Chain A
Amino acid sequence: MIIMQEQTMPAEKENAQKAKIDALLHLADDSLIMGHRCSEWCGHGPILEQDIALTNIALDFVGQARNFYQHAAALLQQLPNDMALALADFDITPASITEDSLAYLRNANAYKNHLLVELPNGDWAQTILKIFFFSNYRQILFQQLLKNSDTQLAAIAEKSLKEIQYHVKWSGEWVMRLGDGTDESRERMLKAIDYLWPYVGEFFNCTEYEKTAFELDDTSIDLLKQTWLNTINHTFQLATLPEQTFGKWYQSGGKLGIHTEHLGYILAEMQFLPRTYPNAEW
């Protein structure tokens, strides 16, 4: 019996470790791609103060991405090299596993972000709505992560939550301004809802690695889903926007590496320098 246990424990631990790394990369990729899209607005915003606010949000996301990648890199460095390389699913073998090699040397099919975050910015309404959906999702997920047995993950979640609260507030205020602003802004919000809604279902279609690493079961996922929908509808009501429900069909795949066509372009732009000069210092 004891011998049996000793043999099965490492396999279980290995699976848990693998799930954790996948989950950390998923969180990091989400943050990085959100940051990338938000940063595209820098210098092009409709109001100078809002340009600054959105750049600040981009900066928060890049900061969060770095925290998650660094944590993932530290865990990967503890593993046997070939196992670590396989787990991170690098496209080019890096000189060492760092936050940068994880961001810059993995292909689109190794990226685990939600499809929603890679969608183009579109107009201000679409950008606002995307941040609104995503940061509300993040807020309830990260509140859950505060209790995570990985104390490092819990600490990053705690630090990020302060920023996320601001993102939730900022984007929610804009949803109200646009929903209850002019006919045109309302029209644009409705279009944005139409475009983005098919992608929100993926938030709550949890992969095995999320369930394991985030310590979620079907009941708690259902609760997150309901909480999120209520929050969204609450703001929508204030914004005089129509109440939403989850449809049976939604777009998904990002968390398992099957993306939209947009991610390839993002990565081509983002990764070109480190890929052109592998192992260079910047």
Chain B
Amino acid sequence: MDANKLAEQFQQKIDADIKIEPQDWMPDEYRKTLIRQISQHAHSEIVGMLPEGNWITRAPSLRRKAILLAKVQDEAGHGLYLYSAAETLGITRDEMYYQLHSGKAKYSSIFNYPTLTWADMGAIGWLVDGAAIMNQVPLSRCSYGPYARAMVRICKEESFHQRQGFEILLTLSKGNAAQRKMCQDAINRWWWPSLMMFGPTDNDSPHTAQSMKWKIKRFTNDELRQKFVDVCAEQVKFLGMTLPDKDLKWNEERKHYDFGPINWEEFWNVVKGNGPCNKERLATRVQAWEDGAWVREAALAYEEKKSARKYAFQNTAKSTENAPAFQ
């Protein structure tokens, strides 16, 4: 079958909402786009463990400590599902790590911001996991089967993440003056970077049209961002806190909140590696990988020895089977 025909059939499947599976034919660009997007997503989960992992040893109650540990562990699990989903497209996990460590692959820029107080655990859960949910719920209907299925599992856990974050902030908002200040300060610092998580505006997002045609993407960056602003503008009222945007205002005509301009210069700088923690985060990942090299080698060597022994044992077992029985 010629390529045009295959491409046509492929698009028909997409249009009919039939999932694409690993063994199915797919255009090279579709495969490449997915590998890039899923691996970036996986890297974000793994790098994302660091800013929160920071506070596990300093969590202010045992209950919070246990919840935070479980949350960060979930993120590692998300990374695992996503690496596995990407592997179905013909790339290995080690290759993806290599791309991350060499700076070739990106991860969500949000994790290049520092976690400075305990309230940041609340703000990250509420805003960062909240924005992730906004992005990821449509992805659970994505045209590529393994990615969509990974997202279904992930989204279930993300909503717990968001709830625990909001609960941290709610508790702080009812606390003493220092706690309330901590709460507002964290919201101030995480609000704008969270809005940037939806990516550049539609005008500056050249891949959006193709991704939507392939149903990798279901909504544009700006649509999702607007939805997020609308939800958060209401939720923040429960905290008795404010979002740091003087232009934030309900627009009766649009039936949406208007909001102020995003600092795209900051966004592109953080993407390019000039954020407050880019170098640290990447160095930490590289260090963990390099420090672990001897462990991985040992595990491999041991498995080889074990299977060699097993093989030798099977052979001896066989030869005794055939040997004449002792009288």
Contacts and interface: CB of A to CB of B under 8 A. Distances in A.
A binds B: yes
B128 interface: no
Q: Would you list the 10 A-B pairs with minimal beta carbon distance, nearest first?
A: A46-B292, A181-B298, A185-B298, A273-B60, A46-B295, A43-B49, A43-B53, A282-B60, A177-B302, A55-B73
A262 to B, nearest CB: 13
Contacts of B118: 273, 282
Interface string B283-310: 0100111011111111101100100000
A277 B288 contact: no
Contacts of B176: 277, 280
B69 A39 contact: yes
A182 B66 contact: no
Interface string A34-62: 01100110111111111110011011001
A269 B58 contact: yes
Given A177-B299, A273-B118, A55 B61 contact: no
Contacts of B53: 42-44
B80 A49 contact: yes
B284 A181 contact: no
B290 to A, nearest CB: 10
Contact of B58 (A58, A176, A188, A272): A272
A269 B61 CA distance: 13
Interface in B26-72: 46, 49-50, 53, 56-58, 60-66, 69-70, 72
B57 A281 contact: no
Contacts of B60: 104, 273-274, 280, 282
A62 B65 contact: yes
B77 interface: yes
Contact of A274 (B61, B69, B72, B288): B61
Contact of B76 (A52, A103, A180): A52
Contacts of A104: 60-61
A184 interface: yes
Given A46-B288, A62-B62, A103-B62, A39 B80 contact: no
Q: Give the bracket for the number of chain B residues in contact with chain A.
A: 35 or more
A95 to B, nearest CB: 13
Given A48-B83, A59-B73, A66 B62 contact: yes
Nearest to A62: B66
A202 interface: no
A42 B79 CA distance: 14
B80 A184 contact: no
A99 B288 contact: no
Interface string A175-196: 0111011101100100000000
Given A69-B62, A277-B176, A182 B80 contact: no
Contact of A184 (B64, B284, B288, B298): B298
B242 interface: no
A277 B60 CA distance: 10
Contacts of B80: 48-49, 52
Given A48-B76, A55-B69, A181-B302, A270 B58 contact: yes
Interface in A115-131: 123-124
A44 B175 contact: no
B213 interface: no
Given A42-B49, A59-B70, A188 B294 contact: yes
B171 A47 contact: no
- Most interface-central of B46, B287, B288, B289 (chain A CB within 10 A): B288
A263 interface: no
B279 interface: no
B174 interface: yes
Interface in B199-233: none
Contacts of A97: none
